[in-house]
Structure 1
Amino acid sequence: MAAVPSMQAENSLNHTERLATFAVEQSFSDIPASDQQAGARLVKDTLACAIAGRTIPSSRIIEKVIARRGGNPEATVLGAGGLKLPVTAAAHINGHLSNAIDADDTIHYKAHVAAGVVGPALSVAEWRGSSGEEYLAACMIGYEVASRVAMSMRSLTVGEDGQIVFGKVSGYSAVVFGAVSATGRLIGLDARQMRHAFGIALASAPLPASSQFGLELPRPMTKYALYGAIAEAGVQAALLAAEGFTSETSVLDGERGFWRVAGSVDFNESILGDRLGSRWLADEVTYKPYPGCRFLNSSIDMLLALMEQHGFSPDDVTAVTSRVHGGALAKHMGSSDVETTVDGMFSLPYLLGVASYRGAPGPNWHTEEARRDERVRRFAEKVTVELEPRSGPAAKEDLDAHGYNVRMPASIEVVVDDKVYTDYREFAHGDPYHEATRFTDDDVNKKFRDFTADLLLPGAADSALRILDDLVGCRDVTGLVNSLTGLGR
């Protein structure tokens, strides 16, 4: 981890200019085909999350309030049966939808980034008449910029005793640089305008407000960030810069840069430029097969694998002990008290229950019916959640070596009659660090169909997947938008 830059060195730093220039000048044709495919996979995954996100109560409230603004019908709200709103309003709703069910990507356990980029960029691309290639390029560029800013910061430390200590201020405001980069590229900002757009984005992005999340039960709809507000701030920043609005133009640099504003524990400035344009973070995405906190995914993997391997049913289980990362315990994810939809996304006992009884992961895991399901409740009461002792040392090693978590050690013990079945894993399905766990095209296609089942018109999911598989060949994004219009629920 690089030292905090001195005031003398501050003037020599030029991260803002470097990333702004990259955002507007990087040629899509110079991105390797394998990375382009990784970008398309990320777009596909995020749009599946957005359609599924319509079923979450917070989404209905956000849409109702934002739609009241009215205005020019410039861009489509995903899954809303053809509702069109001004581009900033559509971007707000589509950004919120993408994170609402909490199944969206993470980048090295740093942040959910794509929710603030993919849906909002689709709103802008539709409004501008952009091609599929231009849209995909904007998504990849936006993801790259925001991910590097997020990865340059640290929100937690690990002591010698393995205990996780969260910073007093943390959040996901860095994602705004993804929305502004994607939008700025689509509307044709030059590098100077993009630097101003970055500054406007910093001045208008929501505060980093995730520090309290998980400490108060029941969990609120705000979760750890309002992605709609982040998305709209980024889109609007680019639009203002295009009209000549100005700002500070070194907001990613020095002692008073964004990392300090966002409350980062320290600052790894090297990641901002490390192999920029050749190392594409879309290929390092961690995907979530399940609609629940990534810290908890390994435990779901292990329980389902043990049931399949040993042939027992959830009714046969008498007790479960799941040991997880200390960050999950610090945020009370071992609680079986599930009152709200958001509670369900962050309760390991509940998630193990719905994984056992509610079928394929998707919106059906977070319905009122699922929360009332007595089988799920009984199973959750059998689950004890403890600290996995190997997680702290692994986190410290990874943070020291990489600046971010790679491994997420977890273990499980499942008691069935007089037998105890155990498992231990350092990676979950969807992690990019091991070939056995990397998400494939088949994985993301299955997730897309499972998450959008009954939420789109008949045949629309297949149509959307065909378009997304050949996004670079699309003259515009109209067909994709139409396939994702849906019926709503």
Structure 2
Amino acid sequence: MTTLTQTLADFTVETRFEDLPSSVVHETKRLLLDTVGCALGAVDTPSGKIALDYVDILGGAPHASVVGSSRRSSATAAAYANARLANVLDADDTFPTSTHFGNATVFSALALAELDRKSGRDLLGAIAVGFDVGARIGSWMGAPMQIENGKVIGWNELGGPAATITWAAIGASAHIARLDGGQANHAFGIGGSNSPQPTLRKWAESVEQPMYKYADAGWCAEIGVSSALLARLGSTGFKDILDGENAFWKFYGSPGHDDHALLAGLGDDWQILNTTYKPWPCCRWIHHPLTAFAQLLERHALRPDEITRVVVRANPFALTPIFREQRPGDWLSAEFSHAHALAALVHAIPPGPRWYDATTMNDPRIAAFRERVTVTAEPSSSNIAEWMTGGQWRGVPGGVDIHARGTVFSATADNATGDPWTPATHFSDAQIRRKFGVMTGLDADGDGPEELRHAARDVADIVMSLDEHPVERLTASLDALSRSMRAQGVAA
């Protein structure tokens, strides 16, 4: 039986841009702009520089752009570097299976769009379809947590989000490479068989973080591109990788699967509409307490020097040692530190690469504030299973208690800023554009050198009207922005 595999493969290659609802087209543009911004913000980080140097070593035909630089490389190498860059700051979108899909989806599709000289409509269609494939397979396998008698008791021993990122890249690549249904079926088999190892449990237990966290988003994107190109050349893979007793969910280590979640509403219920955006560059689990913290700071005009103590009330997965760390030793660890995130926010550090540059990491004000932050459990989120729908979570409460002015200011956020399910937390187009500007080197108000402001605005305008342009228009504007960033010393 190849029912599940072939059905999803057919959807991947038969769906066209014209089939996308206007809301999905608009959301795809927003995701594209946000993801490109996250990549641009990382080009001057240690991990970003490694990605760029790695592309130089690989060489290859100059088929595709490497964002934030003057480099061009092969489609696989460009997809690798760009997707890795997009995940470096942990500022990229998060789907409610605890997965970042934008990085590999966007940049596998962009690399092949450049290789095959596709239109902006082609690129947008590939991103929407690829995202749906990854999100559906993630929902099919369920969230990466152990649930016993309706209670969450920890992370799965195996499984996790790494492979589903790859599946999104496979879907996007198969779509834009214009495979037929049979070739897409083989691309699924090739990519699924070569997915990353399920290292989430190892990541959850590690205080010292590797640069790729639980998976290198670059490799996920590269697997997607390679799978589509190999299938287009005639290479074969398992045709039933999603079917039968030994389907993908089982050999990847997921404790179960939900076939209904995989195909329900296929072509009608677009999963990209459920992705969440990050106003702050840190783990999404920190965003609920951060949302409550930001609300209290604004409501009561609290200043850093007035705050004597902050108690973060976190969900069960944000209570491990790395989330409690008050003295993160490097920027990777700081991305998971409640204390560092609150310190950067209260001191009005623009939420982008500056949160983790040497000036901020070594700022005595930041260090002193971190020491005043402790982390405990949020009682209302003790059972995350209550917040699950179809293998996805819909908000997980977190809060803060701020000790200042001789009193305690408290707030709890059921949804974090950037969640699409409530009007109060939905990330507006203006917020996405503002975040994009900060990632390119502008300040939080969008101010900066005129050339940089113009170049950043041009990219944003082109992305938001990409269905009217060829992909070359986008990459040319990105090249101009990269040159402007380099002139200002904020790019490689």
Partner of 2:360: 370
Mapped contact 2:261–2:391 kept (Cα < 8 A) = no
Could you say what the CA RMSD is over the residues aligned between the two structures, in angstroms? 1.7
Q: Hey, what's the Cα distance between the residues in 2 that align with 1:277 and 1:119? A: 23
Fraction of identical pairs, as percent:
32
Mapped contact 1:156–1:265 kept (Cα < 8 A) = no
Counterpart secondary structure, 2:463: helix
Structure-to-structure mapping, 1:71-470, within 5 angstroms? 71-80=60-69, 82-154=70-142, 155-159=144-148, 162-171=151-160, 172-330=162-320, 332-393=322-383, 395-399=384-388, 401-453=389-441, 458=452, 459-470=454-465
The C-alpha deviation readout for 1:401-460, integer Å capped at 9, x for no partner, is 532211211121101131111101110001112111111211211111122225996221
Q: Give the C-alpha shift of residue 27 in structure 1.
A: 2.3
Q: Give the C-alpha shift of residue 398 in structure 1.
A: 2.6
Count of residue pairs the alignment pairs up: 474
Q: Hey, what's the Cα distance between the residues in 1 that align with 2:325 and 2:436? A: 29
Greater Cα offset, 350-359 or 378-387:
350-359
Counterpart residue identity of residue 119, structure 1: F
Mapped contact 1:122–1:135 kept (Cα < 8 A) = yes
User: Is the alpha carbon distance of 1:378 and 1:267 closer, same or farther for their aligned partners in structure 2, counting shifts above 3 Å?
Assistant: same
Q: Hey, what's the Cα distance between the residues in 2 that align with 1:122 and 1:252? A: 26
The C-alpha deviation readout for 1:335-373, integer Å capped at 9, x for no partner, is 112112111110000110011114221111011221101
Mapped contact 1:291–1:345 kept (Cα < 8 A) = yes
Greater Cα offset, 55-64 or 152-161:
152-161
Partner of 2:476: 482
Q: Hey, what's the Cα distance between the residues in 2 that align with 1:205 and 1:157? A: 22
Q: Give the C-alpha shift of residue 20 in structure 1.
A: 0.6
Mapped contact 1:164–1:392 kept (Cα < 8 A) = no
Counterpart secondary structure, 1:117: helix
Q: Give the C-alpha shift of residue 482 in structure 1.
A: 2.1
The C-alpha deviation readout for 1:146-181, integer Å capped at 9, x for no partner, is 111111113103445955311111331122122122
Partner of 1:45: 34
Show structure 1 runs of 5+ residues with no match: 1-10
Q: Hey, what's the Cα distance between the residues in 2 that align with 1:149 and 1:46? A: 21
Give TM-score scaled by structure 2 length.
0.93
Q: Hey, what's the Cα distance between the residues in 2 that align with 1:271 and 1:43? A: 25
Mapped contact 2:51–2:85 kept (Cα < 8 A) = no
Greater Cα offset, 23-32 or 378-387:
23-32
Q: Hey, what's the Cα distance between the residues in 1 that align with 2:329 and 2:208? A: 6
Counterpart secondary structure, 2:92: coil
Give TM-score scaled by structure 1 length.
0.93
Q: Give the C-alpha shift of residue 276 in structure 1.
A: 0.5
Mapped contact 1:164–1:327 kept (Cα < 8 A) = no
Show structure 2 runs of 5+ residues with no match: 443-447
Q: Hey, what's the Cα distance between the residues in 1 that align with 2:133 and 2:106? A: 13
User: Is the alpha carbon distance of 1:148 and 1:480 closer, same or farther for their aligned partners in structure 2, counting shifts above 3 Å?
Assistant: same
Greater Cα offset, 142-151 or 164-173:
164-173
